[in-house]
Structure 1
Amino acid sequence: MQFTSIEQAYAFYKSYAKLGGFSTRKGGEVHSGGITKTKYFVCSKEGHKAVCIEDRSSKSKKPYKSRNRGTIRTGCKAHLMICTVDGRLYTVKRFVDGHNHKFVCPDDIHMLPAYRQLSDVQEEEMVWELGTLNLGPVKAFHIMRKRYGGFENVGATVDDCKNFRNRINSYIEECDADMVINRMADKKQYLADYSFKYSVDDEKRLTGLFWANGLCKPNYIEFGDVISFDATFKINRYKMVFVPFTGIDNHC
């Protein structure tokens, strides 16, 4: 059996593994003359978990803490080895199909990490867009479950949705203040009577922000007799005061 690329061979072995009830990963490779001459694809349970050896020569006084995590490795020897002469065609040179572990039943194969992946549509339209509506990743997952007709059709788990949301938050963490100011500026440009002001310190960090939309202003003029000024002091992650102005209208 021959393949035109390493990726084509891996896609074939991955499809075979999914039908068989196990998952795979890319193994070692041998290079020569700038060409990958030999490539291994192995079972995801190949090898054993690395043992952490305490380094007594380390000068660090802080004790090292490792997470007590289990392992799926069982030392499985199943693998596929492909080789090439010129880097154009890869030929199967060795195929070992003997596993030392149980296979996953077809109904649960979608739960293996290798086959769990959020699509671009799921990431953008479901997890991200629903997050802008204050719907968390757990609710986004259950909406996708309803939409796609079951857990097995989502292609991911609740934890995958949470991890994606955490990656987004980590990515925007350094520019979140800029994003807020840009959003306010866009609203001021396109919405009538929208106002906002902000202040920064010497290091250009956001220290204050005030905004009011076009509906708040006439309401204040009409129902400005009773205004609640509620300062919740420094309980958010930014250590900033959040002060909503609440008016009482004729409907209380």
Structure 2
Amino acid sequence: MTEDEIKGSLVGYSAETVEELYDLYTKHSTLVGFSVRKDTVRRVPKTGIVKEKYYLCSFEGKRRETKPKTPKPNVENSKKKKPKQQAITRVGCKAMIRVKKNKEGLSERQINVVKGKTIEALQKVGIRPSDSYRYLCAEAGGEEYVGGTLRDHMNFINRLKMKEIEG
């Protein structure tokens, strides 16, 4: 995968393992300019196998408000310690990726080669992206059988356009 592909949207990429997608997201975050921390892990209850993981920007969330400590009655108040100065690192960044395994054990939502060629052909003849998505849904027998969302479809078309511009 090229640096430009990693720097763009990662929606729809699949890999054999969760760790491969974590490595991809850390490369993406480095190129874009942030770092990643691990968050929620969901497992299959009976087996304990990981089925879903969230990786967040290290700046996600908000700093907890600390309550001022009340002085103890027998302690001398003349020797007050200054509170430790800490940099504010949690600023509410929303960058994140959710990795979820599907029935085949791969990440969900991918546009395979055949669908990609179909989308590319429809794009070249001038059919609008939303119309081409509806066509694929009708051909597959419903949205749930397409293998991707309208957003994945639009991201794929945007990547095609970017390749055209770069070329």
TM-score, normalised via structure 1 length: 0.31
Higher relative contact order (CA 8 A, sep 6+): 2
Higher Cα Rg, which structure:
1
